[in-house]
Each structure stands twice: as C-alpha cells, then as structure tokens.
Amino acid sequence: MGALLGLLLGTGLFLVWSALMGTDRLVARGTRSFGLTELLRRAGVEGVTPVGAALLSASVAVVTGAAMLAISGTPPVAVVFALMAAYLPIAVLRGRARRRQREFAELWPEAVDNLASAVRAGLSLSEGLVQLGERGPEPLREPFVKFARDYQASGRFNDCLDLLKRRLADPVGDRVVEGLRIARDVGGGDLGRMLRALSGFLRDDARTRAELESRQAWTINGARLAVAAPWLVLLMMSFQRDIISRYASTTGVLVLATGAASCLVAYRLMTWLGRLPVEQRILS
C-alpha cells in the first residue's frame, strides 16, 4: 500500500513538474509552443492554469488508484488504471481542441464574408474586425469582442492582432490575421477582392478536410476500440480477487507492462497509418 501511494505521489509530482516546465515556452514567429499552456489555449479553456490542470490529473490518478486498490486488492492493477486516469484530463483537452479547430474551420469563411461586407460598406479594417464581435459567427465573437476592447484601449492595431491570434490559437485564424495585417500595411483597393478570394479558399479547404476526416473516422474508432477492449476485460476481472490477485506477482507485472506497451505501440501505429496532415501554426 505504501509503495502504491508513493508511486502515485511521484506520478502527480512529475505531472506538476512537466506542466511547469511547459508553461512559459516561447511563442514566437516560426515556432510551435508546447505544453499545457498552448493546449489550454487551443481548447478555449479560460481560468484554468497549467498547474491546475496538472493537479487535476494527479488527483484523478490518486482517486482512481485508491478505488481500484479497494476493488481488486492488487497494487499493480491499481497503478495501471491510475496512470491511465492521469491522462484522461489531457485527452479531454485534446479532444476539445480538435473539435474547436474543426468548428472554427467551418466558421471562418462566414466571418471573412462578414468582414468583406463591412469593408464594402465603407468601414475600415479595424472597424470591420470590431463588428465581428457583434455580428460574426457566435463561437468567434468573444475573441473579437476582446480585440475591440484592446484596440479601444491602446489603438495599436498590430499589437491587438497579436493578442487576437493568441486568443484564437487556431492555424486558420493565423492565416486570416496575417493576411489582414499585410493588407492593412500594403493598402490599396484590392482588400475586398482579397477577402472574397480568402473566403472561397477557406470554404474549399474546410469541405475537403471534412470529407477526409469522415473517411478516417472508422480507422480512429477501430484503433480506440482495439486498445480499450483488453483493459475493459481487466476491469471486469478486478471484481474477482482470486483471479486478479495473480497480477501481483512478478510475472503478472511483466504481463501488464508488456500489454500496456503493446497497446500504446499498436494505437500509435494505427493512428499514424490513418493520419491526415495536421495544419501547424507557422505564424504563431
């Protein structure tokens, strides 16, 4: 029991340390930012710090480990499920970030169309961006409302665009923002034409990616089902102590470690084979 608690405590401390190490990674042009800070930003989660997310993972691991130990009475099995539970909050954040990115990809063409309409109506580029906070697609309004506040407070357009990109944390948003920055710096009367061309490109890109992702879904779901099946069986076996207690031996620990490694490698391989190109934030 003491060894299990020590291992769980060490896992929690490691998660906290890794979160702190990834909190202040530089977000510069031409680079990617890693760690929980960027993940929380891409997931659109506000009010939660990386340390808080790491502590949540550690807490879930401790609670799950204690519950599994009480059910099975087998420390190695409890440790395995505790480690899987520690990853659960991170998996939820990653899933939320993917859904948010897909949603934004579908909404950006409409947002650019609204901006083009505002420019045709005689509004300046900054005024058109402010209008998106009121008339743009609902999920995109909040970042533009904050852009309006920043611009009203400082009047520095480029700095406010940088803050807008950081709040959006979206690769398509990076392209849109940088396109608007260049259009404002260069000037000219082709802004409306550029916005219409950008809207058409974004709409075609979103349609193509949606079709590919729908075909890819069966591969991802099959990989998840294949990986989850043996651990669901192990969970059901945990209610039979006379059987699950065999995993407390050295051979049982070796079986668990080998099975975990095999599932991880197989899942990574299946997702790698069925992967789609992931758009990176090259202008973040």
Give yes or no: residues 200 and 256 share one domain: no
DSSP state of 247: G
Inside any domain, residue 146:
yes
Inside any domain, residue 234:
yes
Inside any domain, residue 122:
yes
Q: Which amino acid is at 259?
A: G
Inside any domain, residue 217:
no
Structural domain total, the chain: 2
Per-residue pLDDT of 240-274, as tens digits, reads: 888 888 888 888 889 999 998 988 888 888 777 76
Per-residue pLDDT of 172-202, as tens digits, reads: 888 888 888 887 777 656 777 888 888 888 8
Inside any domain, residue 280:
no
Owning domain of residue 50: 2-99+225-273
Inside any domain, residue 156:
yes
Inside any domain, residue 191:
yes
**Residue 223 CB burial class (10 angstroms; 0-12, 13-18, ≥19):** buried
Instruction: Give the Cα separation of 8 and 259 in Å (integer).
Output: 20
Q: Which amino acid is at 236?
A: M
Give yes or no: residues 67 and 126 share one domain: no
Inside any domain, residue 218:
no
* Overall pTM > 0.85: no
